[in-house]
Amino acid sequence: MRAGNIVVGVAGVRAALQRSTVVCVVLAQDASQRTVEKVERLAVARRIPVLRGPAAEQLGAGLGRPPVQAVGVTDPALARGLTADG
């Protein structure tokens, strides 16, 4: 995965959704209800698919980071791959 293909973290994902720069959102399975509501509301309003991923600890580890509740995907090909698998 190349740098620039994703946006990591709730604040970054929300900002990217507002700028319409993400094509898919992955929420951690154990994301807080508040996070789910804030991110899903924006994504649904912009017709961006929202997927539930692994737990925040695993999602972050897969990205070489601490636990992550939300990831925005900016690369259309990567998003297609995720949604096809999801």
6-85 under CATH 3.30.1330.30, yes or no = yes
User: One-letter amino acid identity for 46?
Assistant: R
Average pLDDT over residues 17-21: 95
Indicate the domain borders of the chain. Answer: 6-85
Report the first-to-last Cα separation within the chain, whole angstroms: 18
Tens of pLDDT along 35-55?
Answer: 999 999 999 999 999 999 999
Cβ-contact 73, 25 below 8 angstroms:
yes
The pTM of this model reads 0.89
> For all residues of the chain together, what is the average pLDDT?
91
pLDDT of residue 84: 77
Percent of the chain scored above 90 by pLDDT? 79
| CA 17 – CA 32 distance, rounded (Å) | 19
- Per-residue pLDDT at 15 exceeds 90: yes
